[in-house]
């Protein structure tokens, strides 16, 4: 089946250039390939909308980068063999992530305006070459790194998407994201609420045995306690006196 080269019309080209200009004025890196030794027009990424790009700090030392972007494949036959996302803080890469089974998934995509949401991760991890197409969606990466404490909320940082194709060409795309600790604060608040609830129910009447009220039991005097018969092996048995050989039998005459 023949394939057509993807071309932008005049209106689309003007809109594309306007978005790039707006991003550059804001100091946000545009999604252009920075390795000029290889042909960058086989595959390009454009970050849009830039205001929703975030890097979330999560519990247990986890982070998640959420980058809305448009992927444009201009030539058929490109096969992505390796993909990773790097942060400016550590050399440990973030891996592309399928977070639908994560408890944080709804929090990560809650600020996005694109519904239904298209995750671009499968396009970058497929086993067959890409064909010319343009897909708008979001890249989600995940890893275990530490966000420096001096990076407050809304701090703008750059993450880079590194790709390697079947020719071992390396491409790099930069995206501006803002630090976001809202999910971390939400989890910490929920933990405090659970601990407070557990402490409020601990030692309470919910799990305590019922106690008798004053006056429910009949008081017994010491005299009555002495009058109570001792328990014997047989019911109604009478204890008979024991006579030995030296015992003097009384005379009843």
What distance in Å separates the CA atoms of residue 53 and residue 67, rounded to the nearest whole number?
5
Dihedral pair phi/psi, residue 30, rounded to 5°? -85, 155
Look at residue 232 in the predicted model and tell me its pLDDT.
Answer: 47
Alpha carbon distances (Å) from 125 to 42, 139, 199: 17, 12, 47
User: Are 177 and 55 a contacting pair, CB within 8 Å?
Assistant: yes
* CB-count burial class (<10 Å; 0-12, 13-18, 19+) for 63: buried
Look at residue 60 in the predicted model and tell me its pLDDT.
Answer: 86
- Taking the mean position of all CA atoms in its chain, how far away is CA 115? 21
**Domain range list for the chain:** 21-190
Rg (CA), the chain: 39
Helices (H) and strands (E) in the chain, counts: 5, 8
pTM for this predicted structure: 0.62
Residues 6+ apart with CB under 8 A from 181: 56, 57, 147, 153
Return the residue matching tokens 């030539």: 75
Per-residue pLDDT in tens (0 to 9) along the chain, 253 residues: 333 334 555 665 666 666 666 656 655 555 544 444 444 468 999 998 778 899 999 998 899 999 999 999 998 889 999 999 999 998 889 999 887 778 888 888 887 767 788 999 999 988 889 999 999 999 999 999 989 999 999 999 999 999 999 888 999 999 999 999 999 998 888 788 888 888 888 755 544 555 555 555 555 555 554 455 554 444 444 455 555 555 555 554 4
Beta strands in the chain (DSSP E): 43-47, 54-58, 62-73, 80-86, 95-96, 133-144, 156-165, 170-180
């Amino acid at each position: 089946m023949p394939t057509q080269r993807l071309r932008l019309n005049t209106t689309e080209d003007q809109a594309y250039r306007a978005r790039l200009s707006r991003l550059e004025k804001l100091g946000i890196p545009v999604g252009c390939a920075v390795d000029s030794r290889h042909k960058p027009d086989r595959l390009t990424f454009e970050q849009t909308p830039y205001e929703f790009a975030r890097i979330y700090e999560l519990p247990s030392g986890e982070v998640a980068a959420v980058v809305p972007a448009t992927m444009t494949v201009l030539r058929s036959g490109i096969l992505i063999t390796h993909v990773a996302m790097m942060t400016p803080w550590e050399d440990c890469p973030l891996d592309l992530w399928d977070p639908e089974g994560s408890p944080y998934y709804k929090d990560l995509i809650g600020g996005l305006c694109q519904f239904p949401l298209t995750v671009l991760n499968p396009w970058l991890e497929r086993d067959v070459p890409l064909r010319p197409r343009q897909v708008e969606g979001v890249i989600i990466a995940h890893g275990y790194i530490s966000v420096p404490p001096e990076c407050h909320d809304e701090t703008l940082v750059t993450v880079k998407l590194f790709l390697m194709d079947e020719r071992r060409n390396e491409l790099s795309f930069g995206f501006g994201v803002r630090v976001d600790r809202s999910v971390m604060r939400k989890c910490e608040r929920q933990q405090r609420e659970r601990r407070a609830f557990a402490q409020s129910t601990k030692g309470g009447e919910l799990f305590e045995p019922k106690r008798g009220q004053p006056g429910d039991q009949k008081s017994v005097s010491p005299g009555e306690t002495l009058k109570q018969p001792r328990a014997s092996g047989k019911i109604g048995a009478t204890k008979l006196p024991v006579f030995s050989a030296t015992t003097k039998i009384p005379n009843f005459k």
